[in-house]
Structure 1
Amino acid sequence: MGRAKIARIASVLLLTLAGPFAAQGQNLPQVQLTEGHGSLRALNTGTEVQLWRAVGRLDTGASFCTATLIRADLVLTAAHCVFHPTTARPFAASDLTFLAGLRHGHAEAVRNVRRITVLPEYQPEHGPDFEMIGRDLALLHLAAPIPHAAIAPILPASTPWREDRVTVVSYGRDREGYASIEEGCEILNRQESVRSMNCEVVSGVSGSPVLRVNQGRAELVAVISAGAQTSSGEVSLAVMVEDHLTTLMAQASAEPAQPVARSPIGGASSSFILDGADARENIGARFIRP
């Protein structure tokens, strides 16, 4: 990225956590990418939401990100989303809530988190430098699985990522109450585990799935980590899943079933779903020079 400015895009919010509900594995109906760089649009109809309900909002009590159900009991997001945005201290698993398919105050499934797994090399205190962006993945172990009959997960891609255009589904600033989709995002650059794209980058998009269409089915190939300001404009940066998911899964299997840390901001919060900007007080992104 050279002298490009890099910004974390976890949305900083003051809100309470949501409580439990239901989801699992994903065989999506036919999906087609648009040609060129498509504009961002809200997923407002029931049919559209059904296609992408494995994507949800991850609430922490101090911030929110986007996350994706990849197995009945596993959610994938960006690692920096599980650390406090101002102190860089890890959240307790009990501080996190996953709201699958959240749309205007209603979630298709709501689950608390019981355990967090991040790559051992990930160091949040380094901020959004290029090396950490390439390791910015976290697995969240749900307190209770979401049945496949309720929500089918979006599976990680089983073959290498070769495509030049992808789709991103996300929650973000000023649209935190519903998911939006951006089709036909162009891959601008490839460097190690990081891909730069011309998708929109705003607060809250961190952790969003980068998806490809393979024979009519959506597969997760990367996770949005940060935004960068380049000489030609703003780009989004994503970390490839195929490089790290096996390591994450093996690490998760070896870990004891307990939270990674005590919360820096207190215990578990009361549970309810926030709609739109009703509880938003402060949303921001950090910019640094790597």
Structure 2
Amino acid sequence: MALLRVTVVLVGAFLAMVGSAQATQPMKNGILQAPLGIKGKDDRSPVDITAFPWRTIGRVNRSGNFCTGILVAEDQVLTAAHCFWNKRTKRWSGATEFHFVAGYDKGRYAGHARGLRYRTAFAALPDLSVQPLPRDKDWAVLTLDKPLGKTFGFAEVSRRRLSEDALATADLVQAGYSRDYSHILTVHEKCRITHTARLDKGQAPIYFHQCDATNGDSGSPIFVKDGAGYRLIGLHSATARLKTGEVSGLAIPSSVFYPYLK
């Protein structure tokens, strides 16, 4: 499998500030601009936050900032590893600084828990101020102080990475809390993963996708819909601008982090 060199722009970064539920896209020459990460037409739409699997998704909050997270066990939330890196202090934040709110909608939430500890792919957490985060390792599992999954359920996580043939016909859905709609959960139905490739030597292959994910969507799940059920097959990490100028989302296949789950 050939390496694919890209310029990565972190639009799913943890710097998404809590703001209005209304769109806050930038203006250019008086025209409203879609956030980076929206590929063409904005296909995001709200969903019933009380229905499954949407009620398993929530915000991972710290000091007014947030990422998206999803319950993958009774007391575990899957999200992006870079959400725990504090760019201001240039250190990894402690788990107890984080709160997970399930069923969050317009300032209200159905469940709340604090973090106890988190696990990443690293034996020792790297200093991200001096080295980049390997994109295939941008996942973390946050253990909670309450078993929220008993009430809200939790996602079924696929053991295997989907083949290119399976991806071509898969019915995919991405769901997250975008910065410009920070108080509601939005989904992009029938988005697509275009291909799988390695970003660099030694890294695991990752998915390149066209789901509309932007700031705040880091850690958001990508599901495949099988009949009436949903399986988590990937975790949105960031957005990349390819050498061709095309903007693509980057997602970690579930096969990468599945062995670390309960």
Q: Quick check: TM above 0.5?
A: yes
Pair 133,107 (structure 1): closer, same or farther in 2 beyond 3 Å: same
Q: Does the alignment pair 1:235 with 2:241? A: no
Q: Does the alignment pair 1:110 with 2:116? A: no
Match of 1:175 among 174, 177, 181: 181
Q: Residue in 1 aligned with 2:144?
A: 142
Q: Residue in 2 aligned with 1:12?
A: 15
Q: Residue in 2 aligned with 1:195?
A: 207
Instruction: Give the counterpart letter for 1:152 in structure 2.
Output: G
Whole-angstrom distance in 2 between the partners of 1:2 and 1:13: 26
Whole-angstrom distance in 2 between the partners of 1:38 and 1:184: 13
Measure how far apart 1:233 and its partner are: 2.2
CA RMSD of aligned residues (A): 2.5
> SS where residue 65 of structure 1 aligns?
strand
Q: Does the alignment pair 1:219 with 2:214? A: no
Instruction: Give the counterpart letter for 1:189 in structure 2.
Output: H
Whole-angstrom distance in 1 between the partners of 2:143 and 2:227: 29
Q: Which has the higher contact order (CA 8 A, sep 6+)?
A: 1
Measure how far apart 1:46 and its partner are: 5.6
Instruction: Give the counterpart letter for 1:42 in structure 2.
Output: P
- 1:105 and 1:177 in contact (8 A); partners too: yes
Whole-angstrom distance in 2 between the partners of 1:106 and 1:127: 39
TM-score normalised over the length of structure 1? 0.70
The share of aligned pairs that are identical, in percent, is 22
- 1:200 and 1:235 in contact (8 A); partners too: no
Measure how far apart 1:61 and its partner are: 1.5
Whole-angstrom distance in 2 between the partners of 1:236 and 1:124: 24
Larger displacement relative to structure 2 (119-128 or 59-68): 119-128
Pair 64,213 (structure 1): closer, same or farther in 2 beyond 3 Å: same
List runs of 5+ in structure 1 lacking aligned partners.
16-36, 251-290
Pair 51,127 (structure 1): closer, same or farther in 2 beyond 3 Å: farther
Q: Residue in 2 aligned with 1:207?
A: 219
Q: Residue in 2 aligned with 1:42?
A: 46
Measure how far apart 1:232 and its partner are: 4.4
Map 1:278-289 onto structure 2 (within 5 A).
none
- 2:209 and 2:249 in contact (8 A); partners too: yes
- Output one character per residue of 1:198-254: Cα deviation in whole Å (capped at 9) or x when no partner: 1123110100001111242111111111101122421110011212321x348xxxx
Q: Residue in 1 aligned with 2:192?
A: 186
Measure how far apart 1:53 and its partner are: 0.7
Whole-angstrom distance in 2 between the partners of 1:177 and 1:10: 17
> SS where residue 242 of structure 1 aligns?
helix
Pair 38,127 (structure 1): closer, same or farther in 2 beyond 3 Å: farther
- 2:11 and 2:214 in contact (8 A); partners too: no
Map 1:37-186 onto structure 2 (within 5 A).
39-43=43-47, 45=48, 49-61=51-63, 63-120=65-122, 123=126, 125=128, 132-146=134-148, 148=150, 150-162=151-163, 163-164=167-168, 165=170, 166-186=172-192
- 1:128 and 1:226 in contact (8 A); partners too: no
Whole-angstrom distance in 1 between the partners of 2:102 and 2:152: 8
- Output one character per residue of 1:72-103: Cα deviation in whole Å (capped at 9) or x when no partner: 11110111111113444111111100111201
TM-score normalised over the length of structure 2? 0.77
